[in-house]
Amino acid sequence: MSVMERAVTETTLPIYHRAIDWDALYKRYPVPDVFERTRWRWSADEIRAFQNEQFLDLMKTGWQNEFYRRRWTAEGLEPGDIRSIDDIVKLPMFDSADIKKDQEENPPFGLINGDVTKKMQTTPMKLQTSGGTTGKPRPTLYAPQEWELNGLTHARNLYIVGVRPGDRVQIPHTASLGNAGWCCYKACHDYLGALPITTGTGAVTASRRQIEIAQEWGTNVWYVRPEYATQLAKVARDELKFDVRELKTKLLGCGLGPDVDNAFRNQLEELWGCDVFDMYGTHEMGMGAFECRHKNGLHFHEDSTFFEIVGVEDGKPLPEGEIGNMVCTILHRRQQPMIRFNLRDLTKIVSHERCECGSCFRRMQKMLGRSDTMVRIRGVSIWPQACLPAIKSDPRTTGEWLCIAERKVNDGVVRDEMTVKVEVRDDAGGWDGLKEHIEKRLHSDLGLKLNVELVKEDDLIEWSNRGREGKPKRILDKRYEKK
């Protein structure tokens, strides 16, 4: 053995590509084309057995983790109490507030991550953060297995809907502390043989240049926020006198949110002349659920994450067809394990039957919004994201809106009001009847009369993700502001 060969063999550094048994990883979590031919087509019983095996192994990690051990012991639980995944309901749930509290009391990464400095002596780590939708972004750490599954779950999703080697995938998500851009980059580069074109958001690469790059370099797939896809089509039309349909795009991957009547999808498919597939993920799990080519519900990524739907108020498991909070247990996570994490994202399970695509992976309805952004107006619960179908029901809107809750006092009578500001396209041709139409649709959808205020295109850019990084903000609650 040469000096160089011996030096490489004897290194004491935590080399990433030696931190994983790759054959074992891909046997447990198959790469996209193998996955599609095998596990994707497993029976429900086979899926459940695999989940049970993974869960019981995960529980060993959980009992060694101080964050979980304290919580579970406080509930009177002992390791022998959890004998299968059917017993998961015995474990207490937690949410992002509990992680934040843990990290504030045990800075910077909390008990849930263990002794990070010690682990880094032998294990490479990657740091990402949440999007900060409900407050300060919280850090999440990834060891190699967690980081690979981030990309691998996304790659499987893209493969199922048709991405293949040689495709050129434009990614207008910035690869920074947020996770979406990294997930898609790894999926394309590491697992699909597709070319990732990492342009970042419009704040990094101007929208006009995004379109020029797509023209020059042959982009045929986009992983893009749906609101930004409409902006790109507008910029192409207005500034470049170019119809994005001429790009001959194969597909768009988007998080469509509460687009229950497909109005937003239909608009995008008309604008771009291609299929649009809904996708749902979080920075902890990577891709959690996604549509197949039949678009009849989002398949849970059953072998990497176990999902439950529970009541918003009581946290009790709900039957198929009832809307509640999604609770996830990420089966592959050992660094920062996530066991019964209440995402507070609202949805319902729509099917556990085998899909036309051949998969028994359960399917959920579109993500309807976050229960922790819910506001009560005159006794009625309103989720801002639930306004989307009404907003998109008229093509004259841009699809951007902002809900403003205010407390008003008239003649000593206190009354809560909500105004929904709605952007109207510059080329709408006229606003006649639009305000009344949206107010009527909102009343029908939400069960409460809300005020609609029409505003010009780009008036809400401060709150959208067209003018900044991250997710759009949909609610301003001014009822408790000091006068």
For residues 462 and 244, which has the higher predicted lDDT (pLDDT)?
244
Give kind and range of the element (H or E) at residue 263: helix 263-272
Grade residue 448 by pLDDT with cuts at 50, 70 and 90. confident
Determine the pLDDT at residue 134. Answer: 52
Residue pLDDT, tens place only, 426-436: 999 899 999 99
Mean of the pLDDT values across residues 458-463?
Answer: 89
pLDDT tens figures, 302-316: 999 999 999 988 999
Average confidence score pLDDT of the chain? 92
Element (H, E) at 311: none
Average pLDDT over residues 112-118: 96
Q: Does pLDDT of 369 surpass 90?
A: no
Confidence of residue 6 (pLDDT cuts 50, 70, 90): low
d(CA 392, CA 218): 30
Residue pLDDT, tens place only, 148-170: 999 999 999 999 999 999 999 99
Q: Alpha-carbon distance 56 to 211, whole Å?
A: 48
* Segment 34-40 mean pLDDT: 98
pTM: 0.85
Structural domains in the chain plus CATH codes: 1-371 (3.40.50.12780), 374-477 (3.30.300.30)
What's phi and psi for 131, nearest 5 deg?
-75, -10
Q: Place 483 in a pLDDT band, splitting at 50, 70 and 90.
A: low
Dihedral, CA of residue 424, residue 427, residue 430 and residue 431, to nearest 10: 0
Whole-number pLDDT of residue 264: 85
Tell me the H-state helices in 369-481: 388-392, 434-446
> What pLDDT, on the 0 to 100 scale, is given for residue 375?
82
Higher confidence at residue 358 or residue 478?
Answer: 358
Find out whether 151 and 176 touch, Cβ atoms under 8 Å. no
CA 25 to chain centre: 24
Examine the pLDDT at 406 and tell me if it is beyond 60.
Answer: yes
Please state the φ and ψ torsions of residue 62, each to the nearest 5 degrees: -60, -45
